[in-house]
Chains A and B, each alone.
Chain A
Amino acid sequence: MLLTFFWIFGVIAMGSALLCITRKNPVASALWLVVTLFALAAMFVLLDAQFIAVLQVLVYAGAIMVLFLFVIMLLNLGRPGPSDIKGPAGLAIAAVLAGLLLLQLRVLGQAPPPDAIQLPAGTVAEMQVRQGMVGAVANPLFEAYLIPFEIASLLLLAAIVGAVVLAKRKL
C-alpha cells in the first residue's frame, strides 16, 4: 500500500519534471516544477519526514517558486517568442550525458549503506513519537548541528545584502 502510493507520487514527480524541462513557456515550466515539489512533499510524508514535507510546501512551493514566477512576470518572459530549447545536436549531447549520469547514479544506488551504521528499523519513528514531529528535527538542529545552523543564518544575511546590492538600480 505504502509502496504503491510512493510509486504513484514518484511517477507524478518524474513526469512533471520532464514536462518542466520541455515546456517552451517559462511560466508553464515553473508551474510544472511546483507539481514536482508537491509530489516530493507527499513522498517526504511517506518517508516519515512530515516536518520537512511542510517546509517543502511552505519554503519551496510557496516562497521560492513565487519568487521565480515574480521575476518571470517582471521581465515579461511569458509572451510567445522563439523557443530557447537547443536543436537536435544539443538534444543528442544532453541525452547522452544525462544517460551516462543516470547509469552512474543507478550503480551507486545499488550499494546499500553498511549494516553496522544502520539504526534498527523503527528507531526514527519511535524518536518522533517520543520527542514530537518538530522536536525530533529541532533537538539535533540546536545541539549537534548548531554551528552549521549559525553559518546558514550568516549565509542568508549575506544573500539578502547581495540581492539588494545586485538588483537595485542606484544605491
Chain B
Amino acid sequence: MLLSPALAISAVLFTLGVAGVLLRRNAIVIFMCVELMLNAVNLTFVALAQRLGMGGQIFVFLVMAVAAAEAGVGLAIILAVFRHKQSVSLQNMNLLKD
C-alpha cells in the first residue's frame, strides 16, 4: 500500500510550502509556494482516491481549475502592483499600514 508514504510525503511538501510563505518576501515566490501547497493536497486526494473511489481524482481536477484561476488573477495583481511600486517585495506593500 502506498497510502501512508503518500500521506507522509504530502505532509512534508505542504510544510515546505508554508515555510516558504513565511520565509520569503518576493510575492511571486510566495505564489509558487502556494502552488506547492495545493500540489501537496492533490497528492493526498489521489492517494485516498485509490481506496475511497474516484471522487478524489475529480477534486484534483477542480483544484487544478482553481489553481489556474488563482495564478492568472494573482499574477495580474502582482503586475498591477509592480507598475505602482516598481517592486514585488511584500515589504514595500504597506499602503494600509500608514
Are B2 and A113 in contact, CB atoms less than 8 angstroms apart? no
Q: State the total of A-B contacts with C-beta under 8 angstroms.
A: 229
Q: Chain A contacts of B25 at CB under 8 A?
A: 84-86
Are A40 and B42 in contact, CB atoms less than 8 angstroms apart? yes
Complex alpha-carbon distance, A113 and B39, angstroms: 21
Q: Which of A49, A60, A98, A158 contacts B22 (CB 8 A)?
A: A98
Q: Which of A10, A71, A127, A137 contacts B58 (CB 8 A)?
A: A137
Asked whether any CB of chain B lies closer than 8 Å to the CB of A152, the reply is yes
Complex alpha-carbon distance, A84 and B88, angstroms: 10
Are A86 and B61 in contact, CB atoms less than 8 angstroms apart? no
- For chain A, the bracket of interface size reads 35 or more
Asked whether any CB of chain B lies closer than 8 Å to the CB of A141, the reply is yes
The majority secondary structure among interface residues of chain B is helix
B: number of interface residues (CB 8 Å)? 69
Instruction: Decide: A6 near B6, CB < 8 A? Known: A155-B65, A163-B76.
Output: yes
Distance in angstroms from A89 CB to nearest chain B CB is 11
Are A136 and B16 in contact, CB atoms less than 8 angstroms apart? no
Q: Chain A contacts of B32 at CB under 8 A?
A: 20, 29-30, 33, 68
